[in-house]
Amino acid sequence: MSNATLNRVVKEIADEMMERKDRGEVATYISELAGVDVNSFGLVVVDSSGHVAAGGDADATFSIQSISKVFTLTLALGMIGDKLWQRVGREPSGSPFNSIVQLERERGIPRNPFINAGAIAVTDAILSGHQPRETLGEILRFMQFLSGDPSIKIDEAVAASEQRTGFRNIALANYMKSFGVIENPVELTLGVYFHQCAIAMSCRQLALAARFLAHSGRNPSTGFLVVPAERARRINAVMLTCGHYDGSGEFAYRVGLPGKSGVGGGILAIAPGKASIAVWSPGLDANGNSRLGRDALEILSKRMGWSIFGS
């Protein structure tokens, strides 16, 4: 597919999405996110040659929220390897992202690293042996390195607003702590977790950061191997099955790509061997996933023939 075709498809999707009226609702439980303009829309695709096709608000930054969980999972697997899977599972939960019910039956072991409980357990694993400030610096530098952009920052106002209202996450962390799944003081682990979710990035920065997942662990432009190919494949598998919480089945059915959403309205999607994609539309559906983000990815994947299940 030529650059011109990809550019045209991305622009047409962005134009169509800008016009849509049924945009979903912005998240309000994190007060700082409630003020984001629901009419924003951005889409960026980076293909294997490094060509960037951008549409809409491609350079506007937004709160990456749960998309950060893909990158903390990558770091945790790099630090402690497969031992991580003793503390967190890799099965879809079929429950909302902040659900607590399964934790009791499963003795504090979260179903997967992408629901909140699982992501908090992953962050706790990265934190062990470090100061929260060091761990947070490590996560932020990883994002800057992957996207080749040192200007990426944490939005402190978002982190503070989540810290103020994060009662569910505090409950989840304490509950896991009672089973010994959390090693560090819960307030330290949660401090890192709230700040990683508050990293602000644009669609362009996110799509660039995730190129290694689309290309067998390697940034195809620099040749730098971020993770072994097998690990990239496995992270993509967990994104496909768990990346949209109890909307993961619907996302696989409609889009057919590994993807990870965040309540800031972003979705990162991977077309293996082909492209890394970031989309942002802050209005969410009932599962807390970007409504137009998914619609845009459905059109993109169909028009480009990128579904992993066949074109």
Which residues 108-127 are close enough to bind ligand GLN by CB under 6 A?
116
Q: In terms of CB distance, is 65 or 93 closer to ligand GLN?
A: 65
Residue 97 binding ligand GLN, by CB under 6 A: yes
Tell me if 61 sits within 8 A of 199, measured CB to CB. Answer: no
Within 10 A of 240 (CB to CB), how many other CB atoms are there?
22
193 is in an annotated binding site: yes
Please state the three-class secondary structure of 242-258 as a single string.
HCCHHHHHHHHHHCCCC
Residue 66 binding ligand GLN, by CB under 6 A: yes
214-222 long-range contacts, CB within 8 A, separation 24+? 214/48, 214/270, 214/271, 214/272, 214/273, 214/274, 214/275, 214/276, 215/48, 215/273, 216/273, 219/146, 220/48, 220/49, 220/50, 221/50
Active site residues: 66, 69, 193, 245, 263
Residue 245 Cβ vs ligand GLN, minimum distance, rounded to whole Å: 7
Residue 216 Cβ vs ligand GLN, minimum distance, rounded to whole Å: 27
| Interface residue with ligand GLN, options 132, 282, 288, 293 (CB under 6 A) | 288
Residue 310 Cβ vs ligand GLN, minimum distance, rounded to whole Å: 30
Residue 263 binding ligand GLN, by CB under 6 A: yes
Residue 198 Cβ vs ligand GLN, minimum distance, rounded to whole Å: 8
Q: In terms of CB distance, is 55 or 265 closer to ligand GLN?
A: 265
Residue nearest ligand GLN by beta-carbon distance: 66
CA distances from 177 to 104, 173, 186 (A): 12, 6, 7
**Per-residue contact flags (x/-) with ligand GLN for residues 222 to 261, judged by CB under 6 A:** ----------------------------------------
Alpha-carbon gap, residue 85 to 99, rounded angstroms: 20
Residue 89 Cβ vs ligand GLN, minimum distance, rounded to whole Å: 18
Outline where 99-155 has alpha helix (H): 101-105, 116-127, 132-147
263 is in an annotated binding site: yes
| Interface residue with ligand GLN, options 65, 74, 236, 281 (CB under 6 A) | 65
- The site for ligand GLN, by CB under 6 A, has a size of 11
Which residues 189-208 are close enough to bind ligand GLN by CB under 6 A?
197
Residue 166 Cβ vs ligand GLN, minimum distance, rounded to whole Å: 7
| Nearest partner of 295 among 308, 309, 283, judged by Cα | 283
| Interface residue with ligand GLN, options 98, 216, 221, 287 (CB under 6 A) | 98
Up-side HSE of residue 259: CA atoms within 13 Å toward CB?
35
**Per-residue contact flags (x/-) with ligand GLN for residues 147 to 166, judged by CB under 6 A:** ---------------x----
Within 10 A of 96 (CB to CB), how many other CB atoms are there?
16
Alpha-carbon gap, residue 150 to 51, rounded angstroms: 21
- Maximum Cα interatomic distance, the chain, rounded to a whole number of Å: 56
| Nearest partner of 264 among 305, 203, 221, judged by Cα | 203
Alpha-carbon gap, residue 256 to 310, rounded angstroms: 9
| Interface residue with ligand GLN, options 123, 161, 163, 169 (CB under 6 A) | 169
Taking 3-state DSSP, the helix, strand and coil percentages for the chain, each rounded to the nearest 5, stand at 50, 10, 35
Applying CB under 6 A, the residues found at the interface with ligand GLN are: 65-66, 97-98, 116, 162, 169, 197, 262-263, 288
Q: Give the annotated binding-site residues for substrate.
A: 66, 116, 162, 169, 193, 245, 263
Q: Give the annotated binding-site residues.
A: 66, 116, 162, 169, 193, 245, 263
